[in-house]
Structure 1
């Protein structure tokens, strides 16, 4: 059984999808969410974790003198829970190099577009969907990728496509993409586990 650590900043709907996959879906018996860490106290994902009796922690980056101290706190919590894979699920912060070193080739992220298009700094949430629609794309989707030092540039693990419909609003496209994210993230974790 592999231990998953999830880093969040918000509602945690992808966290919920991962929890559900571990408890009763494609990851049952293979993995479990061992710990959740948030950089926002008001992240609803913390409540989701508590409902499933998963240890959940909030660490405010502003409470630390340096990024390295903040990173050490997160890394320590992940190590304490023997995390094998770290999943970023709406975590709105660049991953510090110390965390990349401590969990080398073990951190993955989900992005609401088909990378390498519409990735990088500032490309998150509705910004992505507005850009996709403005460019006249006929399809968008999700990408699960390995995390490195540069936003959204790590090796792609899995992609799933969705159509961009005529007269789509960013909100409509976001909802369609999010539904696919909830399927794709557990699939990507399963793919990693099968590769050993």
Structure 2
């Protein structure tokens, strides 16, 4: 059985969706949720599903002790599911091609530092894009520049607010993120 570790910073809807997906198909276990926000709703979601939650600070993330703690969970795959901090180089090197992220746009558009959540949707709206989507990609040392694994687009001509775009993106995330993770896990990454 493969081990998945999730990193999240906020509400955790994607994290919970992934936990539930793998409880159902049983090809992997979500063994921990790492969170940098002690007030994040994702911690409640992890507890509800009996998944270990690890809370840490931005400073903790950069230490060897943090990497040792992560190693204790023996992750076969690390999934960033709404995680807002950049991972340090020692983690990226230790888990090369075993860390993935989901981005709420069609990279390389609307990527980089500060481009997350509603910031992305507002930029897409302001630039009058006719479509947007999600990108699932490997994580490297640069924000949103790792190799693309999967993209799915959606038309947004009918959207007049960033919130309407967010709803469409969330639907794509909920449908495709667990499926892509499952394909990565079963292809013996």
Q: Decide which of 58, 63, 79 is 1:61's aligned counterpart.
A: 58
Distance 1:150 1:184 in 2: 24
Q: Output aligned runs, 1:77-88, within 5 Å.
A: 77-88=69-80
8 Å contact kept, 1:130–1:170 = yes
TM-score (ref. length: structure 1):
0.91
TM-score (ref. length: structure 2):
0.94
Paired position in structure 2 for 1:149 = 141
8 Å contact kept, 1:146–1:156 = yes
SS in 2 for 1:118: coil
Distance 2:35 2:98 in 1: 18
CA RMSD of aligned residues (A): 1.4
Aligned residues: 188
Q: Unpaired segments of 5 or more residues in structure 2? A: none
Paired position in structure 1 for 2:164 = 172
Paired position in structure 2 for 1:16 = 16
Deviation track 1:35-80 (CA, whole Å, cap 9, x = no partner) reads 1110110011011111111110101225x5xx632xx343222211
Q: Output aligned runs, 1:1-196, within 5 Å.
A: 1-24=1-24, 28-62=25-59, 64=60, 68-69=62-63, 72-196=64-188
SS in 1 for 2:62: helix
Distance 1:73 1:53 in 2: 24
Deviation track 1:129-149 (CA, whole Å, cap 9, x = no partner) reads 111111111111111100001
How far apart are 1:167 and its partner, in Å? 4.5
**Runs ≥4 residues deviating over 4 A:** none
How far apart are 1:123 and its partner, in Å? 0.9
8 Å contact kept, 2:152–2:172 = yes
How far apart are 1:4 and its partner, in Å? 0.3
How far apart are 1:120 and its partner, in Å? 0.8
Q: Unpaired segments of 5 or more residues in structure 1? A: none
8 Å contact kept, 2:3–2:76 = yes
SS in 1 for 2:137: strand
SS in 1 for 2:140: coil
Distance 1:178 1:154 in 2: 21
